[in-house]
Structure 1
Amino acid sequence: MEYLFSFFIGSIFGSFIAVILYRRPKNIKYVFGRSKCENCNYTIPYYYNIPIISFLILKGKCKNCNVKINYNNLFYEILCGLVSLYIFNIYGLSFNYILRFFQMLIIVLIIFSDILEKDIYIIDMFLLFIIEFIYKIYNNNLNINNLKYALIFFFIMLLLYILTKSIGMGDVILSFVIGFFFDNIYYVFLIFRMSFFLGAIVSIVLILSKKKTKKDYIAFSPYLLISLLYYL
């Protein structure tokens, strides 16, 4: 029952992630306000706003206008539900679970904002940093090396940005946040290596499949964050 509850809580936040990703680029308020159909502006009742279950009951369509609901909503609900389940399995119901869970939500936001909008929001990176700062204080694991390696990773990526323009400034700032997670330079090197390896592989596949060209924007933050999660 605890695992089911954890999944359900994750799916609720996944629904909120979907709202943010849809509304934020359009400058629509997303923290407050009722959910509405994107097509007919129908205010969705609470009993039709239950993650995953409502989508299945309504067969993926708006109750009012019968237009198909974006499957992205269901995807984020399931994804965040699984994320919550995974973290709960590691930490149980604890303060560490809460911190890591919200970090994962922010990571999902950063990844899909970069993919969909070609943008990384400063507020997302700031929140990711603050939560990690709290996590380290709570676990008595904060030391000067965290800041030192954050700065080292930042300046390495900044140099790469200046010389090649192959990454964006958002990636440079994100590298500072990622470097702060660790107190060992070896992990910074591993993340640097793995992220560029993953980025190169995916870019080659996209270019060869003609889904992207060499001049097209290819989000790099997903590879940085996947590498972070792998070594975290």
Structure 2
Amino acid sequence: MIYVFVFLMGLIFGSFLNVCIYRIPRGISIITPPSSCPTCDTPIKWYDNIPLLSYIILKGKCRNCKSKISLKYPIIEIFGGLIALGVFLKFGLSLNTIFWIIFGYCLLVLSFIDLELFIIPDIINILLLVFGILFVIFNGKITEGLIGGVFGFILFYSVAEIFSKILKQEALGFGDVKLLGVIGVWLGWVGVVYTIFFASFIGSIVGILLVALFGKTFKAKIPFGPFLALSAFSYIFFGKELMHVLYGI
């Protein structure tokens, strides 16, 4: 029953993450006003705002104007539940569990913002940095966090500058550079290396699949933030062990 409870709590937080994803990049308060239908602007009643359940009952439509509600909302709620449950299964009931859930939620928010608007808001990186500092202090890994943060930032900044000059256009957004620096605070320099290689691998696979589906004329811009986020989050489950097995580090 505790696993069910953790998952349900994750769904609730996932509903709040939907608010953050929509409002933060638009400069709207995440507290007020109450949620409303983006089409008819009708305030959403509490019974129509129950995570996942309300979407199913309303069949994905607004009760008032019958406009379609994006499938993105229940998907993010489910991700919220899965992140909470996965971290709890890995780390049990501890303060580190709370830290890693916050880590996962911030990465989830920035991923969907980046997918939609191709930006990573500074406020998300700042939140990750603040909680990352608290995390390394709590775990006595201040030196490791400092080295990882500096290593991640300088490495990705250098890569961005080199490829921008080669391609004669921006290769990586500065939000990605700052994100990898923050990830380094949480995961250390080994986590940075893992995150870069795993994100690049996943990104390459996605790019190949998109070209296969849409042909060589596919020129759409693909944000790198979600790949970094997925890779960084996967590291806390098996990345450290994988890097040790493959490279002995």
- The TM-score normalised by the length of structure 2 is 0.83
Match of 1:219, SS state, is: coil
| One-letter code aligned to 2:179 | L
1:195 aligns with 2:199: yes
| Pairing partner for 2:233 from 209, 229, 232 | 229
Match of 2:43, SS state, is: coil
In structure 2, do the counterparts of structure 1 residues 175 and 25 end up closer, same or farther at CA, with 3 Å as the change threshold? Answer: closer
> Which residue number corresponds to residue 82 of structure 2?
82
**In the TM superposition, what are the counterparts of 1:45-56 in structure 2 within 5 Å?**
45-56=45-56
Match of 1:36, SS state, is: coil
- Number of aligned residue pairs: 230
> Which residue number corresponds to residue 11 of structure 1?
11
> Which residue number corresponds to residue 152 of structure 2?
153
**In the TM superposition, what are the counterparts of 1:112-123 in structure 2 within 5 Å?**
112-123=112-123
Q: Deviation string for 1:20-48 (max 9, x for gaps)?
A: 22233443332222111112111111122
Match of 1:99, SS state, is: helix
Moved more, 196-205 or 114-123: 196-205
Identity between Structure 1 and Structure 2 (%)? 34
* Inter-partner Cα distance in structure 2 for 1:51 and 1:187: 33
Q: Deviation string for 1:41-98 (max 9, x for gaps)?
A: 1111112211111112222222222222221111111111111111122233332222
In structure 2, do the counterparts of structure 1 residues 186 and 58 end up closer, same or farther at CA, with 3 Å as the change threshold? Answer: closer
Q: Is the 8 A contact 2:149 2:181 kept in 1?
A: yes
| Pairing partner for 1:172 from 177, 180, 200 | 177
* Inter-partner Cα distance in structure 1 for 2:235 and 2:20: 28
Q: Is the 8 A contact 1:206 1:212 kept in 2?
A: no
Q: Is the 8 A contact 2:136 2:145 kept in 1?
A: no
In structure 2, do the counterparts of structure 1 residues 190 and 49 end up closer, same or farther at CA, with 3 Å as the change threshold? Answer: closer
* Inter-partner Cα distance in structure 2 for 1:133 and 1:59: 43
1:213 CA displacement: 5.5
Gaps of 5+ in 1: none
1:225 CA displacement: 2.0
In structure 2, do the counterparts of structure 1 residues 139 and 203 end up closer, same or farther at CA, with 3 Å as the change threshold? Answer: same
* Inter-partner Cα distance in structure 1 for 2:34 and 2:145: 41
In structure 2, do the counterparts of structure 1 residues 212 and 139 end up closer, same or farther at CA, with 3 Å as the change threshold? Answer: farther
In structure 2, do the counterparts of structure 1 residues 137 and 143 end up closer, same or farther at CA, with 3 Å as the change threshold? Answer: closer
* Inter-partner Cα distance in structure 2 for 1:33 and 1:93: 34
> Which residue number corresponds to residue 73 of structure 1?
73
> Which residue number corresponds to residue 106 of structure 1?
106
Moved more, 150-159 or 198-207: 198-207
* Inter-partner Cα distance in structure 2 for 1:211 and 1:48: 42
- The TM-score normalised by the length of structure 1 is 0.89
Gaps of 5+ in 2: 165-170, 237-249
Moved more, 150-159 or 115-124: 150-159
